[in-house]
Amino acid sequence: MSFNPNARLDPSQVEDQRGRGIGGRGVAVGGGGLGLIIVLLYAVLTGSVPSTSEAGALDQLINQTVGQGGPAPSSALAAECQTGTDANQKDDCRIVGYVNSVQAFWSDAFARSGQTYTPAKTRFFTGSLGTGCGTATTEVGPFYCPNDGYVYIDLGFFDELRTRFGAQGGSLAQGYVIAHEYGHHVQDVLGVLRGSAGAQGASGRSVRIELQADCYAGAWAAHAVDTKYLQPLTDANIADALDAASAVGDDRIQAETTGQVNPETWTHGSSEQRRHWFSTGYSSGNPAECDTLSGAI
């Protein structure tokens, strides 16, 4: 998985807030969920952002702390992450490259259908950080917050993909995660997230929204070369993405954490479903084929 060495990165699409939250790992939003996009799911399911008294108080503290510092300094990323060579050599620059490629794909896709894509920035953080969806913590995993329009990620999650979720963690696994979260942003832009409140369960709305984001990630992968950022994907690269998608399937996570598989509480879909819908997006390259919201999944 390589970036074109001469590709020009746009680090302004990422805000680096690492080290700017408050330390500690004790406060988890929504119960310290496993998997991606727990906070978004909470918002979708309940129509509100998660708030406990602890989290609320913490948010205030964080907002004050962050607010005193003014805009986050992204100057280091801007200086370090300028070309595809940087993306090939540095972990954080590689994520910048994926953010750039995914958004270039969607910008083109929207334009082809006569629509305008609204970009969204990604915020890197470590520890915990106040967001429009409550406090982001490392435990929650990467997520998209529709309330403020940012993707949040602690880059340590990619270590967890390997150590906690058992994925191989190849480079395109990172691209898959970023593309999945931007899939939720696209759903937000298209108004999908504003639909009726969903429900958990194997064929509930939560699973359908997650599988569509997986399919959108596959559609990006099909066009990653077209964005000029990435060199042609290999079968091994795609296997990495499929492996990551499987690793965060609800059945796999449940089996590993509880020893049981209970589809009634699924929020993301099974490993097989996640592989299937990523593959559907990848083989068609067409986001219109990603209709997981109606019909069989």
Structure-token pair, residue 181 = 């979260």
Nearer to Zn ion, 9 or 213 (CB): 213
Q: Smallest gap, in angstroms, from Cβ of residue 7 to Zn ion? A: 27
Q: Where are the beta strands (DSSP E) in 51-190?
A: 121-125, 128-131, 134-137, 143-145, 150-153
Nearer to Zn ion, 213 or 244 (CB): 213
Return the closest-CA partner of residue 122 out of 90, 100, 89, 91.
100
Candidates 33-41, 166-174, 240-248, 289-297 — which segment interacts with Zn ion by CB under 5 A? 33-41
Query: CB of 154 within 8 A of CB of 95?
Result: no
Q: Smallest gap, in angstroms, from Cβ of residue 115 to Zn ion? A: 22
Q: Which of 1, 14, 34, 37 binds Zn ion (CB under 5 A)?
A: 37
Q: Smallest gap, in angstroms, from Cβ of residue 69 to Zn ion? A: 30
Nearer to Zn ion, 37 or 81 (CB): 37
* 3-class secondary-structure state, position 197: coil
Name residues whose C-beta falls within 8 Å of residue 43's C-beta, 6 or more positions apart in sequence.
49, 50, 133, 145, 146, 147
3-state DSSP helix/strand/coil % of the chain, to nearest 5? 55, 10, 35
Nearer to Zn ion, 3 or 220 (CB): 220
Q: Smallest gap, in angstroms, from Cβ of residue 266 to Zn ion? A: 13
Nearer to Zn ion, 92 or 181 (CB): 181
Q: Smallest gap, in angstroms, from Cβ of residue 6 to Zn ion? A: 33
Q: Smallest gap, in angstroms, from Cβ of residue 187 to Zn ion? A: 9
Nearer to Zn ion, 3 or 150 (CB): 150
Nearer to Zn ion, 151 or 213 (CB): 213
Could you identify the residue written with the tokens 């915990």? 128
# binding residues, Zn ion (CB under 5 A): 4
With binding defined as CB under 5 A, does residue 86 bind Zn ion?
no
CA–CA distance, 161 with 163 (Å, rounded to integer): 6
Candidates 32-40, 198-206, 249-257, 276-284 — which segment interacts with Zn ion by CB under 5 A? 32-40
Residue 99, exposed/middle/buried by CB under 10 A (0-12, 13-18, 19+)? buried
Return the closest-CA partner of residue 104 out of 240, 8, 238, 189.
8
Name residues whose C-beta falls within 8 Å of residue 233's C-beta, 6 or more positions apart in sequence.
1, 172, 221, 224, 225
Q: Which of 92, 210, 240, 251 binds Zn ion (CB under 5 A)?
A: 210
Q: Which of 7, 36, 221, 290 binds Zn ion (CB under 5 A)?
A: 36
Candidates 37-45, 118-126, 131-139, 161-169 — which segment interacts with Zn ion by CB under 5 A? 37-45
Q: Smallest gap, in angstroms, from Cβ of residue 180 to Zn ion? A: 6
Give the count of beta carbons closer than 10 Å to the beta carbon of residue 131: 24
Q: Smallest gap, in angstroms, from Cβ of residue 37 to Zn ion? A: 3
Nearer to Zn ion, 49 or 58 (CB): 49
- Catalog residues that contact Zn ion under the rule CB under 5 A: 36-37, 210, 213
